[in-house]
Chains A and B, each alone.
Chain A
Amino acid sequence: MNNLAYIYKLWIEIAQISGTLTTSDVLLAAKRLVEGHSDADIKMSIEEFDEFAKDISLEDIIRYLKELTPSKKYIILINLFMVIMLKNIHKEKINKKQIEALKEVYIQLELPYLYDILYLLMSKKYHKAHTTIAKHANNMDFICFDQSAKSELNQSFQAYKVSFIIFKIDDFFLLLNNESESLHIYSYKNKKQLSLYEKCQEFKEESFSFANHPIRNHSIYYINEESFIRITNEKEVIYLDINVLIKLFSKETPIQFLVSEIIYKTRDNFNCSIVKDHIYNIKAKDLSAGYSKNKAIVKNVNFNVQEGELVAIMGPSGSGKTTLLRTFVNQAKKLQGELLINNENISQNYFHRIGYVPQDDVLIKDLNVYDNMYYYYRLHFGKQASDADVDKLISKQLRNLGIIEIKHSPVFKNGKYTISGGQRKRLNIALELLKDVDLILMDEPTSGLSSLDSENIIQELKQITLRNKIIIINIHQPSASMYREFDQVVVFNEDGNNIYTNTAHEVLNIFKLVKTEDTYVFNERRVDLEGGDPELLLEIQAEEKSTFWNLFSYLNNFTGK
């Protein structure tokens, strides 16, 4: 209990300086940072924690940390650093006071170099970070790398005499033990319990070899997501399970608390690779787009989408929803503003990570379902997998989308479709999932479908986004249950102006306010809107209120449900 109190207090101290961490953030992190806590501790309320840690000073904490074994100390400090830093980076504002306070802790613990390394890694200054690491290699127990350091990793693997190297590839969290020459792979979000080989088949790009580093064995574990601390930055989400770290870094035998599916397989079976150009963020800044230079179809578009989000583009017919989607794949022209992927201007480099599903079916009618998928896969990936493996992959995707029964059905026969509209939509989604793209753009995925089918499709899309993907869809009038699945909505008026962008939940609040016709409240709220054009909102309110109402009247119904 005391350990927990110290760590909790340390977090509170740092948090109070910055104000960016909430007390519950601190409590959650503190609980997970320290081994030996019981279920009863976790159930303890914030107030109780405050009470029990109230007499601990920062000096006490420093003293406590100094007494810890180096591995535990490192874990605590690195997690503290990462959570605070990444939270700030995520908000795009680094709090200087907080950084200084954090640095002060590291200095007092006589580990200033550790702070420097972490700061350089977080700032993506890998070269400098590696220089510093090399300088202090003898003092290192482990280093955390993120995915963007992968090219550096290859060069510097051998250079550092570190015990462990941790890095993350897609849904895998990998821990390489330099001393035992073993690789532990932890997979989270993997409810299907896929074998490593199957999972690796989903990574298609840029072979990432561990050949420079001898690995005698490797093992894979499937881990419950809840047991992780979720650390996010703009680049990715990292899940660190502190229990795993403590046990491994304290060099005790790892307890098999996780399901071990593959143990002691030869290296030949492990052909994992990193997904190149993984799309984790999309931004539009004052974007205007159209088909000719003189006429913008969509105007003033603003949004900021992170991986894992399902975004709905809404608006009346002819408002440019499809044009916006087509801008991503160069089928419409960007006229003004910016369209950024991973903070870079969109380019063809990302096309292979984007799947565009137009409103019309994009299937080869003369082939059956299986052949459509088989050749789609082969054309993209060639002979990488055997026919049996491709068959398994196709079956998996079809099963996940609930259309396994049509696997060998023809798409079109005797002048008519033999599979339903919903099945065709799912098949189109399955084709993109075969490619393992990060961004799926779908034009009217629910058009022509029954309400039940539509709801199922939207729920399935939401499930897909949870695998670190972004899905953007055009949709007309979603039902309340469909609407609840959206993370963000981007709303257009009939002139193609992006009149509103915000979280789906917030939209309901805003339009509820609009419905009250309380102009003052509405104007107050617009100041906080992200991406919306305040002038435009006012203009809409004044001049296009009736159109506005027609478009969103149904949204108001949701707020009462």
Chain B
Amino acid sequence: MFNNPITTQINYQLRRQFKIKSYEKLNLIVSFFIAPLLSFLSTYIFRANDDLVQNSSYPNYLFFMLISAIFFGLISSVFEIIKDKNMVQREYLGGVSIFGYYLSKYYVLSFFGLIQTLLYNLVGMLFLHIPWALVAFNSVVMFFVIVVSISFGLFVSSFARNNMIASNLIPVLIIPQILLGGLIPYQDMDKSIYMWEENFNKAPPIAQIMPVKYAYEAIVTGNVIFTTGNKEINDQIAQMVDYLQDNQFMSMQTESFLSKLGISYFTDTWFVNLLIILGFILITFTLGFALFHRRIFHA
């Protein structure tokens, strides 16, 4: 082989990926324009009251933000490997690491996802008057969801043979997140989604594998925690708590289990859920890379 260290390869892969993005100016402008545009649209729709404390649609805004994050991540990543596959195969024959390629792709897409996250939340902050601490927290959760979504996208891109298949898989990944992400009360859904009767008092199993469900739980409970002490917002929190309990975001069993561990539902759930999302990132990255490797090696 050519004895080119992996760190050097990653370095040049990163440079190449950034260079490619820099050539895709129009694409870049559009993707950076869409984030604040969607944010503006959602703030416009979900601004039930100018005062955030009185804005009963604020949880809806948060949910829409997470769905937007899934969308951003998928759209940016789902065609990437299909586009480069032949080149990667060719380079792989010459001893270029495909891990370096995959990691750099991940990194660059995440970087642009971060910019989209910040733009999205900046608009939200301006129009919904969200305190900066919450904006920071919301941005972290949104960014995590984008990264999970990029993992999904790269997984699909490794799997799909062409752009058409990949395009068709996008709604398959987004719609279930919307349906089962937690905004629509589970108890209003067909009971069969619970599978077993003992599941009735918690989120249905199918929802348990939706990253948005955990992200939504994290972002809502996090919004509660990070506004503690602010009397006015705390009034709004009461409504959120009711909302969460109504929607059985976390089962009673889980809640009691957490309390046994000394973790309070409303003080630490956001953190637990973020960890779960990190787990999602790790698993999807690993699975995505394994599939990608197989695709390149056994093409």
Contact = CB atoms under 8 A, between A and B. Distances in A.
A443 to B, nearest CB: 11
Contacts of B84: 364
B87 A366 contact: no
B87 A352 contact: no
A417 interface: no
Nearest to A377: B12
A381 interface: yes
A410 B20 CA distance: 11
Interface string B1-33: 111110011001101100110011000000000
Contact of B8 (A358, A375, A383, A431): A383
Nearest to A379: B96
B299 interface: yes
B16 A360 contact: no
A379 B12 contact: yes
A363 B23 CA distance: 15
Contacts, number: 79
A236 B297 CA distance: 32
Interface residues of B, number: 28
A366 B23 contact: yes
A175 B5 CA distance: 33
Interface string A358-388: 1010111011100100011011111100000
B24 A376 contact: no
Interface string B50-69: 00000000000000000000
Contacts of B294: none
Contacts of A379: 4, 9, 12-13, 16, 91, 94, 96, 100
Give the interface SS of chain B, mostly helix, strand, loop or mixed: helix
Nearest to B8: A382
A367 B9 contact: no
B95 interface: yes
A358 B16 contact: no
Contact of B93 (A355, A381, A410): A355
Contacts of B96: 379-380
Interface string B134-169: 000000000000000000000000000000000000
Contacts of A86: none
Given A371-B16, A437-B94, 16 more contacts: A329-B93, A331-B89, A352-B93, A352-B95, A358-B86, A358-B90, A366-B20, A366-B23, A366-B24, A367-B16, A367-B19, A367-B20, A368-B23, A379-B16, A379-B91, A382-B4
A381 B2 contact: yes
Contacts of B4: 379-382
Contacts of B299: 331
A351 B93 CA distance: 5
Given A367-B23, A379-B4, A382-B4, A356 B12 contact: no
Given A380-B2, A380-B4, A364 B94 contact: no
A356 B3 contact: no
Nearest to B12: A378
Contact of B94 (A351, A360, A363, A371): A351
Contacts of A383: 8
B91 to A, nearest CB: 6
B9 A382 contact: yes
Contacts of A330: 297
Contact of B12 (A205, A363, A375): A375
A285 interface: no
A381 B96 CA distance: 9
A204 interface: yes
A66 B220 CA distance: 101
Nearest to A411: B23
A83 interface: no
Contacts of B8: 378, 382-383
Contacts of A362: 86-87, 90
A375 B87 CA distance: 12
A356 B9 contact: no
Interface in A380-428: 380-383, 410
Nearest to A276: B1
B90 A364 contact: no
Interface in B201-245: none
A360 B20 CA distance: 20
A358 B12 CA distance: 24
Contacts of A435: 2, 94
5 contacts: A204-B2, A352-B2, A375-B12, A380-B4, A383-B8
A380 B23 contact: no
A424 B84 CA distance: 16
Contacts of A381: 2, 4
